[in-house]
Structure 1
Amino acid sequence: MELDEVDFRLLELLSTDGRCTDVAMGEQLGLSSPAVARRRRILEENGIIAGYRAQLSLEQLGFSGVVIVMIELRSQAEQVLNEFEEEVVKCPSMSYCGFISGDTDFILIVHVSSLDEYDTIYRRELSNLPHVAKIRSSFILREVARRSTIPIVFDRARTGRGHPPR
């Protein structure tokens, strides 16, 4: 799908405020609300807009600690990787898991309310995952930045290099 400058401006507005109305966006974009609705629907149908959600404050909900967990497996055989992945998605405290390159096989983000809670999660969830050889944990001391969309997406759009790969 070829995106034009208006599409990128619409995406930028939605990434800032996912509840922004078609009327309000139309006013900012110089379009009618039906034109905005049509563009939004096309972006959704083409998978450019992947969804909408409420951004919860985990800290306000009692989860003030964020732990980056690096897991090394005993083997990288396909069956081992598949078995680990099938089980790690069942961990209720984990918000992100990625298979990565380098010495570590997987990186997880875990949310906790205390060090004691992390100890429990470590013992009940993480140490029981299949094929784990090593677990290393780092605690986030201070959040410096959090972005749902990276600004370079819109910078590239302004320079004409923002089209998704074909």
Structure 2
Amino acid sequence: MDHQAQLDEIDRRILRELRLDGRLSNTKLAEKVGLSTTPCWNRVRALEEHGVIEGYTALLSQKALGFPDTVIIEVTLDRHDDEIFEKFGQALADLPEVMEAYLLTGEYDYLIKVAVAGTAGYEEFLRRKLYRLPGLRHSRSTFVLRCLKRSHSVEP
């Protein structure tokens, strides 16, 4: 199903409001988008059923949880077969410090966004976790100085 072609302006307004505040009550959401509550609820339900809204979540503070720093790591594997991609990808996904991980085209196989506590936390992550994953050949890391934009979805 081509969701983009089927979204009208009211759907897009609903999505923009929920993107800003996923905890909006149906009554408040309906008021903000200019609908009565039942049609608003029906539209949200349809957006969920069609997979346009994948879920709802709480955004947690890395700093408050003791991981104030972010490191971007590029990883190359030692070989490129389905088994190593599967093992490495699963092991990577199981690490709690890994916030995002992408399989790439190009020079590196993966791009990983990791939460750490300073250089000591980063060293510990490398030595005790990343370097122990199956198939890792090379990595290159960059500390994030400041986040300029953070979004968990595109704007509808």
With the length of structure 2 as denominator, give the TM-score of the two structures.
Answer: 0.92
Any residues of structure 2 matched to 1:85-164 within 5 Å, and which?
85-151=89-155, 153=156
Instruction: Tell me, in whole angstroms, the C-alpha distance in 2 between the residues paired with 1:99 and 1:148.
Output: 18
Alignment identity in percent? 33
After superposition, give the CA deviation of every residue in 1:7-39 in whole Å (9 maximum; x if it has no partner): 111001100111111111211222111111111
- Following superposition, the deviation at residue 92 of structure 1 comes to 2.1
Does 2:54 correspond to 1:63? no
The offset of 1:61, in angstroms, is 2.1
Moved more, 125-134 or 78-87: 78-87
Moved more, 114-123 or 85-94: 85-94
Q: Using the alignment, how far apart are the partners of 1:45 and 1:29 within structure 2?
A: 20
**Is 1:22 the counterpart of 2:26 in the alignment?**
yes
Show structure 1 runs of 5+ residues with no match: 154-166
Deviations 1:73-115 (A, max 9, x none): 1111122211211221222211111100111001111101121
What is the TM-score of this pair, normalised by structure 1? 0.87
Q: Deviations over 1:39-62 (max 9, x none)?
A: 111111111100011111112222
| 1:124 counterpart letter in structure 2 | R
User: Any runs of at least 4 consecutive aligned residues in structure 1 with deviations exceeding 4 A, and if so which?
Assistant: none
CA distance in 1, matches of 2:118, 2:64: 14
Q: Secondary structure at the match of 1:13?
A: helix
Does structure 1 residue 12 correspond to structure 2 residue 9? no
CA distance in 1, matches of 2:154, 2:96: 27
- Structure 2 CA distance, aligned partners of 1:80 and 1:61? 32
- Aligned pairs, how many? 152
Post-superposition shift, 1:126? Answer: 0.5
